Structure 1
Amino acid sequence: MVDKNTVASYSGKLSKLFGRSKANLRNLKLIFQDFPGGAEGFELILKFCYNNGYVQMSPSNVPVLYSAAQFMEMNCSISGTQNLQEQTERYLDDINEWTWSELLNALKRCQDLSLSRPSIVLHKCLDSLVGRLHLALEEHCCPSTSSSDGSALQFSCDTKSTESLKTVFSNGVWWFEELLLLNPDFVKMIVPLMLKRDFDEVVIARFLVYYQKSKISNASRDEKRKIVEVVVEMLYTLDHNSVSCKSLFSILRVALGLNINKCIRNKLEKMIGAQLDRGTLDNLLLPSRSGSSYLYDVNLVLRFVKAFLHEQKSRTSQMTLTRVATLLDLYMAEVAPDPCLKPSKFLALAKALPDYARCSHDDMYRAMDMYLEVHTEMSEEEKIKMCCALNYEKLSVEICINLSKNRRFPSTSSIQELVSEQLKQTANNSKSITSLPRKLDECENESSKRDETSNRVMFDTKKFDFSDENERLKAHIQGIQWRVMELERVCKKMHTQMGKVMKSKVTSHSRLKSLPWLCS
């Protein structure tokens, strides 16, 4: 039904093919694989060839005509007429005259063609789309500067009713729903164009989050993975403060079940870590991966903290550090009852932030107490290592009194022995280390006896040149000494108050209870 010479006269591809063929052309069978536009595209090509190089063009068929012209190598002029590829490119010069609906339809046709590489048609359609959105957003922000022929309403009036536009135009995001027709690959191309035109990055981030939430509802698993990966990758190109922490965690919860690309997942974790101080406890309570024995994904939270600290190197803020420390203490208290959580993981949470991030270690102590209550099988050495994460100078008097009575914590002598052993190893078998007292004298002794230096933790540091680790351990010992003296002052005050209340002659021994070991 088709004359080969007629089609070959406009197609360089067929002309070369027929010229090389030595077979009987009457019996030649030609099969096109993945012809652009399928049967419709081939029919448009035939119309062009049988109509002396002319075909009626429209925004809906230009993408097909251009792709088919490239496929058939129709870039040669015949009898002075323009070839099909030139005609389609010339038609695109008037793309700004197309309606908003025609532009969206053209983009839809480009998607249907599944182009392997961006074409001139696709580039011009996307550029025109972004230009119109930029104009619409400017008019929304500055209505007084709007032009007579370029309102946002005219872009969308043919795809939405006037009633539905009343709501969406009030916040300038009417186009969010319009662009849901784009596939993830096109979204990946349109965001850089928006950035070139100085779009507000907060608006771009809101669109990406809206796109992700709207598109995954009816998508397959592979489609969901593609959508999430593209959205995360595009959000990462924006200022990390342009998207809310809540939105990032909502994306993360979806991503955790899709096994997204590791590189993309790292980008998402970095964005969350950068603003971890804005998170909540509910955000962090993410279930562990399938196959894990523990309830919550502690490793993920540790990566968040690591990303947060890396971000803080350039702009350290005590306020943000304190907020993250408070959040981490709440998280530790929540995961402490998990019987499958290993001591090493809990200790990693306790040591994740530097000491100066916390003004008080009371909440950390309570979380540790809860953990020790559940994990009764811990060895004495494991308990001591965990206690080393506490800064005793940052414990309140109330907590110190509670600690002194808490039998779940290791004894003072055990801690002292471990510290002494560590110092001996670091000092490379130095001559001697002053032994530490094993326990505190009871508070029932007279105040003069409590003031004796033999009841305090002392350490001779004059003989050794301690490393940073030794200095840290020494500081802990000095902190215990300082807390003991503070407890002694409290006991004295209690003596005075009790004497006034009782108003009776009671001996000092009968009024006071014995003070247990500090770390018993």
Structure 2
Amino acid sequence: MGSPSICGSLRVDINREATFFVDQRIVCPFSSKLSRLFGVMSASDARNREVVFGDFPGGTESFELVSRFCYNHGKVEISPTNLALLHCAARYLEMRHPVLGVDNLVTQTRKALEGMKDWTWPDLMALLKHCQELNLATTLSGSSFLEKCLDSVVTRVSSSGEQSPSPSTSSSDSSGPRLSCETKSNITHTDSLKSSFSQGTWWFEDLLFVDATVLERLVHSMITQKFNHAVIGKFLLYYHKMKTQFVKPHEKFEIVDVVVDLLYILERASVSCKSLFGLLRMASTLGVDGCSRMKLELMIGSQLDQATLDNLLIPSPAGMNQLYDVDLVLRLSTAFLDKAHSRGSITELKKVAALLDSYLVEVAPDPWLRPTKFLALATSLLDSARDSNDNIYQAFSMYMEVHPGLSREDRAKMCGALNYDKKLSDEAYNPKFPSRNPMPAQISPIPVNIKSKTGESEPHRKQAVQHTGEPEMDNEKLQAQLQGMQSRVTELEKACKKMQNQMGKMPKARAGSSCNRQRSRCTDKELVDEVVM
């Protein structure tokens, strides 16, 4: 701003980037901060005095603008490209008092900001970029300035409806949003937006430059102004898709984290279940956990009835042996039930039940899937939600075939989880699984103890037969067969006793032969027990 010999005043170091020589008699009246630092002093006293500003907003460019304002008697041309710089510099130097009968710089920038309703769309974008570069979201005054800018952006998008700004609306008497498309490049840019996006989303591409902090402020402004939540959701998903293509993993992590948090505050139906699963897969890959992961699962769970089987087949996290992430599906099921208890319908409940049964069929062949988790999946929804037992019956059959080493207790629990009274098609029937027909196969669900003595009451035995889940019309046949088997075992027991008595009277040489026959008969009895048990 001139040489020291001419100004004879102050040296102002701006962020160690450049030094300005200014006359303190000219700049101090406009700046309360500089006035406090130097007060009223003669030119000789002020010579070689220096002030260092290490955090001056906007750097040398904004200080040069402020200096011109002071040297031009409080007048400066304010435009979208310098408004943010002038406002921040004026706030920093405390330029809040009128001088020479003109408004101070803070007042002038505020008035210019209020006139944004008449700005063009590119001008609004230029201002928003400067706000982001100056990091206005970090200070109270800057945050207020940024919010006004964002409110103007949202108002412009809302008022334009489904139409993007066009060159024909740039006249001063136009009631629609005006756009400075005088140049050929601006017209070409607008046309490309129209061809690339649907009319309601023409602004998506223009706002991709905003960072995570500004994005949060933008979405909150949209929600405050009652913006369509479905459109906000589409924008956030588009933002996520485009911004995560060419950035490093830690930047992807931040983007996913912010986008999930913002989607969570929208109406649940504003984002499709398929899109949420896409986010979930990326979140899993990046290791996103904690609150954001929980929010994402709650969103998916609340609309689980819209999911498909492919959506659920997510590989198990690293370090787990099982093939699919069954724990995730259990959490989604719980989230759905929480929603269903308050506003769910029976139709949604049946859709989710059918989906989970299909999922059970897919995961049943997994040799590493523990029976406790398999059972938890099978019993996560009430049996009344199922119209058919075909899928769950098939899943149980497959699981038991793949896991032949299951304990008798686990087999009993699994069979007890089935409702045999529900209709089961002939195609789904597996002869190796406990069936509706008499004489259950080798993995009977209930250990009917045919060795019980005659002290057991008839109603007790009948109850045990019914517990197997067989249709009521077959109960009498099954009971008759069991009683027949019990009689046969009783005869075997008597034969064994008789042989034991005879062995005491036989010579030792023959005792060994009889003993072998006894073991053979007892083995037959044990085999019968094993089949029935």
* Same-fold status (TM-score > 0.5): yes
| C-alpha displacement of 1:328 | 0.8
| C-alpha displacement of 1:133 | 0.9
Aligned to 2:158: 134
Identity %: 44
Q: Which segment drifts farther, 102-111 or 398-407?
A: 398-407
Aligned to 1:149: 174
1:385-428 Cα offsets, whole Å, 9 max, x none, are: 222221121252632755247999633552x57xx9xxxxxxxx
Q: Which residue of 440, 443, 451 maps to 1:410?
A: 443
In structure 2, the CA distance between the partners of 1:409 and 1:312, relative to structure 1 (3 Å rule), is farther
Matches for 1:454-469 after TM superposition, within 5 Å: 458-459=462-463
Aligned to 2:34: 14
1:61-114 Cα offsets, whole Å, 9 max, x none, are: 101111121222222333333221111111223212211101100001101011
Aligned to 1:47: 68
Say if 2:465 and 2:475, in contact at 8 Å, map to a contact too: no
In structure 2, the CA distance between the partners of 1:65 and 1:412, relative to structure 1 (3 Å rule), is closer
Partner Cα separation in structure 2 for residue 485 and residue 18 of structure 1: 105
Aligned to 2:493: none
Amino acid in structure 1 at the alignment position of 2:469 = G
Q: Which residue of 175, 184, 195 maps to 2:212?
A: 184
Say if 1:8 and 1:14, in contact at 8 Å, map to a contact too: yes
User: Is 1:352 paired with 2:363?
Assistant: no
In structure 2, the CA distance between the partners of 1:412 and 1:281, relative to structure 1 (3 Å rule), is closer
Partner Cα separation in structure 2 for residue 223 and residue 120 of structure 1: 27
In structure 2, the CA distance between the partners of 1:226 and 1:483, relative to structure 1 (3 Å rule), is farther
Say if 1:9 and 1:15, in contact at 8 Å, map to a contact too: yes
Q: Which residue of 84, 105, 110 maps to 2:126?
A: 105
Aligned to 2:148: 124
Say if 1:397 and 1:487, in contact at 8 Å, map to a contact too: no
In structure 2, the CA distance between the partners of 1:165 and 1:261, relative to structure 1 (3 Å rule), is same
Amino acid in structure 2 at the alignment position of 1:386 = M
* Secondary structure, counterpart of 1:291 in structure 2: coil
| C-alpha displacement of 1:233 | 2.1
Q: Which segment drifts farther, 253-262 or 337-346?
A: 253-262
In structure 2, the CA distance between the partners of 1:224 and 1:487, relative to structure 1 (3 Å rule), is farther
Aligned to 2:114: 93
- Compute the TM-score of the two structures, normalised by the length of structure 2: 0.73
| C-alpha displacement of 1:273 | 0.6
In structure 2, the CA distance between the partners of 1:185 and 1:320, relative to structure 1 (3 Å rule), is same
Partner Cα separation in structure 2 for residue 486 and residue 175 of structure 1: 74
Structure 2 gap segments, 5+ residues each:
1-20, 165-170, 479-528
Q: Which segment drifts farther, 206-215 or 73-82?
A: 73-82
Aligned residue pairs total 441
| C-alpha displacement of 1:304 | 0.5
Higher RCO (C-alpha under 8 Å, 6+ residues apart): 1
Aligned to 1:172: 200
Amino acid in structure 1 at the alignment position of 2:120 = T
Q: Which segment drifts farther, 78-87 or 294-303?
A: 78-87
| C-alpha displacement of 1:485 | 4.0
* Secondary structure, counterpart of 1:172 in structure 2: helix
Partner Cα separation in structure 2 for residue 188 and residue 347 of structure 1: 42
Say if 1:269 and 1:303, in contact at 8 Å, map to a contact too: yes
* Secondary structure, counterpart of 2:208 in structure 1: helix
Partner Cα separation in structure 1 for residue 320 and residue 109 of structure 2: 58
Say if 1:457 and 1:481, in contact at 8 Å, map to a contact too: no
Partner Cα separation in structure 1 for residue 197 and residue 174 of structure 2: 18
Aligned to 2:22: 2
Aligned to 1:494: none
Say if 2:219 and 2:262, in contact at 8 Å, map to a contact too: yes
Structure 1 gap segments, 5+ residues each:
141-146, 421-432, 437-452, 460-473, 489-515
Partner Cα separation in structure 2 for residue 286 and residue 253 of structure 1: 8
| C-alpha displacement of 1:29 | 5.4
User: Is 1:303 paired with 2:331?
Assistant: yes
1:374-395 Cα offsets, whole Å, 9 max, x none, are: 2233222122222222112125
Partner Cα separation in structure 2 for residue 197 and residue 475 of structure 1: 66
- Compute the TM-score of the two structures, normalised by the length of structure 1: 0.75
* Secondary structure, counterpart of 1:403 in structure 2: coil
Amino acid in structure 2 at the alignment position of 1:95 = M
Amino acid in structure 1 at the alignment position of 2:386 = R
User: Is 1:33 paired with 2:54?
Assistant: yes
Amino acid in structure 2 at the alignment position of 1:182 = V
Partner Cα separation in structure 2 for residue 171 and residue 476 of structure 1: 65
Q: Which segment drifts farther, 245-254 or 221-230?
A: 221-230
Q: Which residue of 265, 283, 290 maps to 2:311?
A: 283
* Secondary structure, counterpart of 2:470 in structure 1: helix
Aligned to 1:72: 93
Amino acid in structure 2 at the alignment position of 1:484 = D
Partner Cα separation in structure 2 for residue 343 and residue 4 of structure 1: 83
User: Is 1:266 paired with 2:291?
Assistant: no
Amino acid in structure 1 at the alignment position of 2:174 = D
| C-alpha displacement of 1:316 | 3.3
Partner Cα separation in structure 2 for residue 333 and residue 293 of structure 1: 18
Partner Cα separation in structure 2 for residue 237 and residue 386 of structure 1: 40
In structure 2, the CA distance between the partners of 1:162 and 1:185, relative to structure 1 (3 Å rule), is closer
Partner Cα separation in structure 2 for residue 519 and residue 75 of structure 1: 95
Partner Cα separation in structure 1 for residue 145 and residue 187 of structure 2: 22
Q: Which residue of 244, 255, 272 maps to 1:244?
A: 272
Say if 1:287 and 1:295, in contact at 8 Å, map to a contact too: yes
In structure 2, the CA distance between the partners of 1:265 and 1:169, relative to structure 1 (3 Å rule), is closer
Aligned to 2:469: 479
Partner Cα separation in structure 2 for residue 81 and residue 102 of structure 1: 26
Partner Cα separation in structure 2 for residue 35 and residue 185 of structure 1: 21
Aligned to 2:283: 255
Partner Cα separation in structure 1 for residue 96 and residue 317 of structure 2: 56
